[in-house]
Chain A
Amino acid sequence: MTPIQLLLIFFSLLIAVFYFQRLRSRLLDRLIFFALLVAAVVMVARPDWSNALANGLGVGRGADLVLYLGISGLAFLWLGLYTRQRELDMRLTELARRLAILQAEPPKKKKVSKKK
């Protein structure tokens, strides 16, 4: 098993852990974003570094390494958005429900209704 395989497996497990734990701290989001930014800048500035890093991990080209990491990153993003979407749906439903109940129209008592 090459190092990249191990790394990708590690990422997959991390996604699972991330989801089940609902580990969602602002700080972590920012740190990840910052790390990605730095990585992007370095890769652009020194393409030979990304190639060297890729070779070290068992990937032929730096561009391939970026692709693999990018796919893992997208999976993270997708799961995060999916959870947020579901939470949003639930809030929206709750809101619509309360509105509907608040504005409910009970039957008009024109006939002699046998109440109680």
Chain B
Amino acid sequence: MISRPIPHSKIFVVVPAFNEGSVIRATLKPLVALGYSVVAADDGSRDNTWRQLAGLGVHRLRHPFNLGQGAALQTAVSYALKQGASFIVHFDADGQHTPEDIAGMLEPLIAGKADVALGSRFLRKDDWQSVPPSRRLLLKGAVFVNWLLTGLWLSDAHNGARAFTRRAAQQVVLRENGFAHASEILQQIRTHKLRFVERPTRIRYTKYSRLKGQPIWNAFDIFVDLVIRRVLR
């Protein structure tokens, strides 16, 4: 297989944002600077997120009302596919991810070795050392619950950074509007028999991202959502 360089404009970074007005510009600017096509989906924010998205050189979409992160991701992905994206990268709006990690995530996809790359903060030593100890325990617990629900054993269960080939992005269609999409993506990777790899990502733990991040009790809601889905669907 000939590996020819993929133009960055064919790589779509999708960013769902809900009330992220104070940080969204700082998150998106480096992505635009790297030449990626950026799709920001404002999930019916009540703050100034929508206005902050203007003049950045990004595609901006807006839900008329709040639907949840999973729904916003799917909207952005559907749009990116319509725009002819070759690769799609999920990226959180709060600035916790590192734009420079994207290239490393795409590498195995461009080489044709995998369909999906999942970000993990537990692959490089200095990455996981920057994870607060209380978070480490929670995340490792999530790894176990994830395995129970999806049958996939990952080093990092709830990392918002993911990369998909066009074909994989077409197959993984999110129906869970809320935060259960993280596990739903894994379930679909399994049902569609997609090849996946984990790639290192660095998570920046700022006061802002820790405040905005999902509180521990959300884990219970997500668990219930997924169990209901498994039992009743």
B-contacting residues of A (Cβ < 8 Å)?
Answer: 19, 89-90, 92-93, 96-97, 99-101, 103-108, 111, 113-116
What 12 additional pairs, Cβ within 8 angstroms, besides A93-B71, A100-B75? A19-B232, A90-B175, A96-B71, A97-B74, A99-B64, A101-B61, A103-B61, A104-B79, A106-B59, A114-B7, A115-B9, A116-B7
Residues of B within 8 A of A107 (CB): 56-59
Number of CB contacts from chain A to chain B under 8 A: 57
A83 to B58, CA, bound (A): 38
State the Cβ distance, A43 to closest chain B Cβ, in Å. 33
Residues of A within 8 A of B55 (CB): 108
Residue of A at shortest CB range from B83? A106
> Which residues of B from 66 to 109 have beta carbons under 8 Å from A?
67, 71, 74-75, 78-79, 82
State the Cβ distance, B43 to closest chain A Cβ, in Å. 9
A81 to B109, CA, bound (A): 43
Residues of B within 8 A of A108 (CB): 55, 57
Residues of B within 8 A of A100 (CB): 41, 61-64, 75, 79
Residue of B at shortest CB range from A20? B232
- Check B217 for interface membership: any CB of A closer than 8 A: no
Q: Are B75 and A97 in contact (CB under 8 A)?
A: yes
Q: Are B59 and A93 in contact (CB under 8 A)?
A: no
Q: Encode contact with A along B6-49: 1 for CB under 8 Å, 0 otherwise.
A: 01010000000000000000000000000100000100000000
State the Cβ distance, A86 to closest chain B Cβ, in Å. 9
A90 to B59, CA, bound (A): 24
Residues of A within 8 A of B62 (CB): 100, 103
State the Cβ distance, B21 to closest chain A Cβ, in Å. 17
A91 to B202, CA, bound (A): 37
- Check B177 for interface membership: any CB of A closer than 8 A: yes
Residue of B at shortest CB range from A96? B63
Residue of B at shortest CB range from A111? B57
A101 to B61, CA, bound (A): 7
Q: Are B59 and A96 in contact (CB under 8 A)?
A: no
Residues of A within 8 A of B63 (CB): 96-97, 99-100
Q: Are A97 and B78 in contact (CB under 8 A)?
A: yes
Could you name 5 residue pairs across A and B whose Cβ atoms are closer than 8 Å? Answer: A19-B232, A97-B75, A105-B61, A107-B56, A113-B57
Residues of B within 8 A of A93 (CB): 67, 71, 177
Q: Are A104 and B57 in contact (CB under 8 A)?
A: no
State the Cβ distance, B42 to closest chain A Cβ, in Å. 9
A26 to B72, CA, bound (A): 35
Q: Are B75 and A101 in contact (CB under 8 A)?
A: yes
Neighbour of A101 across the interface among B56, B65, B82, CB < 8 A: B82
